[in-house]
Structure 1
């Protein structure tokens, strides 16, 4: 007897096909989140972020595969295991609430120290102390002796530069010298701020990636077990298509738009492109937290739908589904 495409007893295949796109929506943001986190926690080497992502995902996939094999999970067991991992992802999503404070930046988050004007909502990096310097728009940050970040040495009002091994800008009219009267100095680069949340963030993020990797194995395994044997390839292809349609394709676009709203400082290029150099960390953390939370809750709903709509090959929804053989070559796998 020939079975038509996806002619299973229940509708669990529909829920499983839609699930990965929502459940792993955060994976679509990896390309965006890596540089964001590097900026967030002042991690200079992006390879550390890539290593964390790869280690967490691979570890989760290996653990998930071992648990499935060790306990010989059938369809309902696979879905239950996937739901447990999704709940773990929900808890670990709190990693995005661990954030570091913004580095104080003159004209953006704090007013210029030598300016009597209050910080304006439009964030003006030009002040009385650097107005006559004709500063360019290229972002070359310097850290002042007052521990405030400046857009460039020119915007800090610096007029002198040391010729030693370490560059030091001096006679900076926009920087107040706390140790002695007169202008302050500045060093190239961003100011360092100690942050207690840095290492807890990476630890919880590793757990989030591990749980995310564990979810993949039971979901994909359950997918090929709830469709006819001859149509497994088509089922996985359709699932991958929906995964891309809901996650990997629109994810970066949606997240990019939301992230842009958290930008505090833009640099406009001659070709019309824009680069953000400073984000509002508190807003950025909420964006990632709620996007991840929404994706995981959506994934849980579809997993629950797959579990409730499941019917065993004999049509009994209450059975555990622990079958060992195929009814025939084209029928659903024995679970």
Structure 2
């Protein structure tokens, strides 16, 4: 459970980290691929070593590295402190002031030349999370490519689907808890003991306490890892052979254990590459995971920009929709395999159909959006300047700080109170919400309010949530079946190696490129960038239509191409044998010793 929480928590924190350290989504993708670079290196190694080492200890030691990585991810906060530079100029340890106002006498200081600040690419805040993700990739490789075969070897084949389903559901608690934890800690300011003077967590200046979750997860992971070190090398159970007593006489001794492969590593790899079902399975799986991981990585950002939700709210809904329905679907899939035991053709057909039907949430989201957010002025042709000067604010000497306010029509947004021509005397407070009553760019007696205008989305967000639930329940029953198929389409001695090679292939063609590709797609929908001293920071304003269409269009395209390989697996499914019967891995009769 904890091994899957670190990556999910990093995804949930990406938007906050971009804002805090001023880097874009492509850099976020660079951080996330460290997990898969480690997987590319260690998955094949673990797959090969799994037959020769004490597997629980290997997993435990690898997970300790994950815990250390969590501490590294939190370290930038302790180096740089809270993001007071995003607030207004007057900031103390205990309180900071509000928005900038129109002031013809203001002298704008060039922060790039006055020596008080230095800007450049945030190397340390990017490098430390990158190292954290690399260590996380080492731990995940051990868990999935050593731990899952270890589980399959420890139970009989008829029970294996249910055990794998339960294991997958427990692993889903990791992302669920990570998103819930992120949703909670992001409601606190980055320094929980400091009042930033911001009442709305949707305010672009708000930076939540992202670092707390990494400290909590790192501590829990290390404590749990210590328990794995005392596990036995293998579990033996008489029940896994209970159905074979009539096939074996009393003189036979059946031992369930990993066998030392008879073929060399090179010949075993060639055997896998020449297996058409295995090749199609690997290709289809890589394409689907490319789509699914890319989408879920940037879904919180999509919810924030499309529906104007806070990072905390976006993570909460992403956690619920990404885990609870999926857990239900996985349990249903495990029960289907355990009690009905479909044959190879029925199982592969079932997997293909439910995976295609499970894309209902992506298809629906493609058409469920909000009207474009309207601003009084925005840059032309996506140039790296704000272009927000109007005739009514030419004498305001506004600093280019993004602190949006909503006009009295509840439709038009302004870049800040200063760019709306608001004076300090115009500020009033109603029930804790800042309002601006006398602004030169707003017709009197109109009153503007802090924050974005609420988008007129109708019930689209609620419908999107419902489709997410349906998509998880319908599509996730395929998870257990895919795991079982991956074990049964190769020789028993090749299970760990097959998973390791599949993971290595997936790392090269899916897990490493997906954060970069989806990060580039996300950046391509940006309209306004934060810029400081010639350095481009995070995106401030997205084109909601471009973001929605490109994100979901790419996801559906990749997913359906992967389904083509699933169909080929269905056509070749008659080659799959021995889905539910335990083979005698080692039978030593009394006369074998002679």
Pair 1:131 & 2:394 matched:
yes
Distance in 2 separating the partners of 1:130 and 1:106 = 12
Residues 407 and 448 of structure 2 are in contact (CA less than 8 Å); yes or no, is this contact kept in structure 1?
yes
Residues 95 and 205 of structure 1 are in contact (CA less than 8 Å); yes or no, is this contact kept in structure 2?
no
Pair 1:53 & 2:322 matched:
yes
Q: Aligned-residue CA RMSD in angstroms?
A: 2.8
**Compared with structure 1, are the counterparts of its residues 270 and 43 closer, same or farther at alpha carbon in structure 2 (3 Å cutoff)?**
same
Distance in 1 separating the partners of 2:482 and 2:515 = 23
The match for 1:193 among 451, 455, 465 is 455
Distance in 1 separating the partners of 2:371 and 2:479 = 34
Larger RCO: 1 or 2 (CA < 8 Å, sep 6+):
1
Residues 78 and 219 of structure 1 are in contact (CA less than 8 Å); yes or no, is this contact kept in structure 2?
no
Where 2:441 maps in the other structure, the secondary structure is: strand
Report the CA distance between 1:321 and its aligned residue: 7.0
Pair 1:158 & 2:422 matched:
yes
**Compared with structure 1, are the counterparts of its residues 91 and 31 closer, same or farther at alpha carbon in structure 2 (3 Å cutoff)?**
closer
Instruction: Name the residue aligned to 2:490.
Output: 227
Distance in 1 separating the partners of 2:348 and 2:572 = 12
Report the CA distance between 1:185 and its aligned residue: 2.9
**Compared with structure 1, are the counterparts of its residues 140 and 131 closer, same or farther at alpha carbon in structure 2 (3 Å cutoff)?**
same
Distance in 2 separating the partners of 1:239 and 1:215 = 18
Report the CA distance between 1:2 and its aligned residue: 5.0
Where 2:527 maps in the other structure, the secondary structure is: strand
Instruction: Name the residue aligned to 2:525.
Output: 262
Residues 355 and 478 of structure 2 are in contact (CA less than 8 Å); yes or no, is this contact kept in structure 1?
yes
Distance in 2 separating the partners of 1:263 and 1:176 = 30
Instruction: Name the residue aligned to 2:555.
Output: 292
Residues 229 and 329 of structure 1 are in contact (CA less than 8 Å); yes or no, is this contact kept in structure 2?
no
Report the CA distance between 1:41 and its aligned residue: 1.6
Distance in 1 separating the partners of 2:493 and 2:405 = 63
For these two proteins, the number of residue pairs brought into alignment is: 309
Where 1:264 maps in the other structure, the secondary structure is: strand
Moved more, 161-170 or 185-194: 161-170
**Compared with structure 1, are the counterparts of its residues 175 and 76 closer, same or farther at alpha carbon in structure 2 (3 Å cutoff)?**
same
Distance in 2 separating the partners of 1:135 and 1:191 = 21
Residues 438 and 447 of structure 2 are in contact (CA less than 8 Å); yes or no, is this contact kept in structure 1?
yes
Distance in 1 separating the partners of 2:501 and 2:421 = 60
Distance in 1 separating the partners of 2:503 and 2:345 = 22
Structure with greater strand percent: 1
**Compared with structure 1, are the counterparts of its residues 220 and 149 closer, same or farther at alpha carbon in structure 2 (3 Å cutoff)?**
same
Residues 104 and 149 of structure 1 are in contact (CA less than 8 Å); yes or no, is this contact kept in structure 2?
yes
Residues 156 and 172 of structure 1 are in contact (CA less than 8 Å); yes or no, is this contact kept in structure 2?
yes
Alignment TM-score, normalising by the size of structure 1: 0.82
Residues 93 and 293 of structure 1 are in contact (CA less than 8 Å); yes or no, is this contact kept in structure 2?
yes
- After superposition, give the CA deviation of every residue in 1:312-335 in whole Å (9 maximum; x if it has no partner): 37xxxxxx87784538769xxxxx
Distance in 1 separating the partners of 2:337 and 2:488 = 13
Instruction: Name the residue aligned to 1:35.
Output: 301
**Compared with structure 1, are the counterparts of its residues 300 and 64 closer, same or farther at alpha carbon in structure 2 (3 Å cutoff)?**
same
Instruction: Name the residue aligned to 1:326.
Output: 583
Instruction: Name the residue aligned to 2:357.
Output: 88
Structure with greater helix percent: 2
Distance in 1 separating the partners of 2:348 and 2:419 = 58
The match for 1:16 among 275, 281, 287 is 281
What are the ranges of 5 or more consecutive residues in structure 1 without an aligned counterpart?
A: 109-118, 314-319, 331-335
Distance in 2 separating the partners of 1:88 and 1:242 = 26
Pair 1:67 & 2:324 matched:
no
Distance in 1 separating the partners of 2:522 and 2:443 = 34
- After superposition, give the CA deviation of every residue in 1:76-112 in whole Å (9 maximum; x if it has no partner): 322111101122134432122211112221113xxxx
Pair 1:205 & 2:468 matched:
yes
Report the CA distance between 1:151 and its aligned residue: 0.8
Distance in 1 separating the partners of 2:517 and 2:586 = 44
- After superposition, give the CA deviation of every residue in 1:248-270 in whole Å (9 maximum; x if it has no partner): 32112111111212112222134
Distance in 1 separating the partners of 2:433 and 2:584 = 77
**Compared with structure 1, are the counterparts of its residues 293 and 53 closer, same or farther at alpha carbon in structure 2 (3 Å cutoff)?**
same
